[in-house]
Structure formats: C-alpha cells, structure tokens
A and B are shown apart, each in its own frame.
Chain A
C-alpha cells in the first residue's frame, strides 16, 4: 500500500516540476517537441531510479558508518555524474538505437536538479531501499508526465498567434503556471481518500 502511496505522491501531489520546482531547466529547454520530451523523460526516470538505489547504499553503508555525512552533497553528485557517464557507455555499446534516442540528453542529466533532489529527499524522508527506489521511479514518471504535457501544449502554441515578446519561453512559463494550478487539485486529502 505504501508503494502505491509513494507513486501517487511523487507523480501528482509532489510533482517535481509543477510543485517542487526541481528540473525546471529541462522543462523549459527540452519541451519544444514531444519526441525529445519523451526521450528526456525516459532517460531521467531511468537515471533517477538507479541513482536512488546507489545513493541509498552509499549513504547507509559508507557515509554513516564512517561518520562522513557532511560529504553527502559531494559524494552524491559524484555518484550521479559517474552513473550518468556509465549509463551512457552501456547504452552506446548495447543499444545503438536507444542511444540515438537518448544520447544527447544523457550529459544534461548530471546537472538536472531533480536527480540530486530525489537522492537528498530520500535521505531526509528516511525511506528504506525499496521505498527510495519507488520514490525515484515515481518522481521520474511525474517529471516525464509534466514534460510531455508541456511539449504537447507548446507544439499547439506554435500554431497560434502569440504576442512577440511572449513567444517561446515566456508563454511556456505561463502555460506551466496554468498547469500547476490544475495540479493543485491533487493534495494530501486525495491520498487519504484513496488509500484510507
């Protein structure tokens, strides 16, 4: 039950982009067409899932026993950077077609706040290994959802007359704001109603 709760929480209630402001750069930068939005979303979800597991292991089996928790930020970002590099190499070797689709997005993920964000949130919320993985995956799916919705809106917006100063990024922000208003309908009471 708690895993369903985690999914609903991180996809809808605490959607990373629309309520937590994590991962805004790709939300604006990579949402011009839906194909790249899906690619970016998949790459981020993948990395977030794995990064949640590895940062959990690093924190609980390396930093805590050695009393080095103040190195949390430093070690997490190193883990994420090398993980992204590693994932890039594996995909390039084993699945050239997937690399074609995700390749250009992978280097961007290192500096995506959402990935480091979920690693830090997992620690502060005190999740165990399985819960961390679920939260990472769900946050990634929530990120993908917002990104894909946004790219669809922006593809439509291209066909409409928008005032010159508002074309591109400003109107994207405003549409994002309206989307965030809609996401406000999901709150904690929804979760209690659903799961009792």
Chain B
C-alpha cells in the first residue's frame, strides 16, 4: 500500500514526466523559460492550481454528471487560476508581469485538465493530492532544466529572487560576454526541446533494455 502511494507521488518526476514523456503543457514550458525565476513562478502557480483542482474534482466526482464533466472541470480550474493570478499580482508583481499572458493560460494547460480527467475523477482524495504534487513538481523540474539551459547559455545569467544586497542575478563569466543569443529566442527553445526530447527518448529506451 505504502509503495503504491510512493509510486503515485514519484512517477510524475521522471517515469511519466508531464513535459518530457507525456508531452503536456508545452506552451508555458517554452514560453516562460527565458529566465529561471519565471520557471519557478510558473511551476508554483501550476502546482497550486493542480493540487486544488485535483482535490476538488476528486471530491465532486460523484456529484458531477458525466456529460458536463469537462466544462465543470474547466470552471473549477479557472477559479483557482484566477486566485493564483490575483495573489501573484499582489505579492509578486514582477513575476506577474513577466509571466504575462501565460498566467491566465494555466487554465488551458493540458496537464491540469488531463490529470482531472485521467486520474482525479477515478481516485480518492489522498491519491489525487499525491498525484498532483508529483506531476506539479515534475513539471516544475522540467521547466527549471529548460530555463537553466536557456538562461545560462542564452544570456549568461541566472536570475533568482532579489534578497538584500544581492540583486538576484548571477553572471557567468565567459557566457555573459559571448552568449548564444538564439537560445533565448523562439527558435532556440524549439530546437532545445527537440534535442532534450530526443535525449529522454534514448534514455528511456536504454533503461528498458
């Protein structure tokens, strides 16, 4: 039983990583990953929405009639996205403005609707919660990986939270003077995603033997 729970929690990290294996939620993955801080902000927003929408879908699964379930899920998700939007606007205005349109677009992030439809409406509240955490963290890690590669090589910096005298930007010596600009642009993001996906495909095939 315990191993089943751990499995639910951990499979989102690598085995069923939402970005690299399931290929869900691609728009924000490439759209916001020009800076590490944006990836963290987006990940936090998605984890929040995913956890609460999974819990509520699981709670309401016996009440919602099958024929209107998708619109009902969308309303639940949109409500939590609006909450995230307002909270970020209030407490993290700089992340709010740099995420821009991708923040309200969490509503149509396939990961959240996908987990509601594929997992939360069939499983208990605890399992749905664990699934949401696993998938959300897996999504955030994928975003972090892409953002790190794009920011380090594309602009030679790592942007984190500003704290005290530290302005939040780490500069990397040589890459800061000679960055590979294309990685910060749309084209570089698509190319990088292609190579990463190819790597994960190779890795999972090799592991299976």
Contact = CB atoms under 8 A, between A and B. Distances in A.
Interface of A: 18-25, 28, 70-74, 77-78, 81-82, 110-113, 116-117, 120-121, 124, 163-166, 169-178, 180-181, 183-184
Contacts of B28: 21
B205 A164 contact: yes
A153 to B, nearest CB: 13
Interface in B31-54: 31
**Chief secondary structure at chain B's binding surface:** helix
Chain A at the B interface: SS class: helix
Interface string B177-209: 000001001111111111101110110010000
Contact of A173 (B85, B101, B194, B205): B194
Contacts of A82: 71
B147 to A, nearest CB: 14
Nearest to B101: A120
A24 B30 contact: yes
Nearest to A82: B71
A120 B104 contact: yes
B78 A111 contact: no
Interface string B94-113: 00000001001101101001
Given A73-B78, A73-B81, A170 B201 contact: yes
Contacts of A172: 194
Contact of B101 (A124, A169, A178, A181): A124
Nearest to A171: B194
Contacts of A21: 26-28, 30-31, 186, 189
A177 B191 contact: yes
A23 B26 CA distance: 9
B113 A170 contact: no
A174 B202 contact: no
B191 A25 contact: no
B186 A19 contact: yes
A173 B197 contact: yes
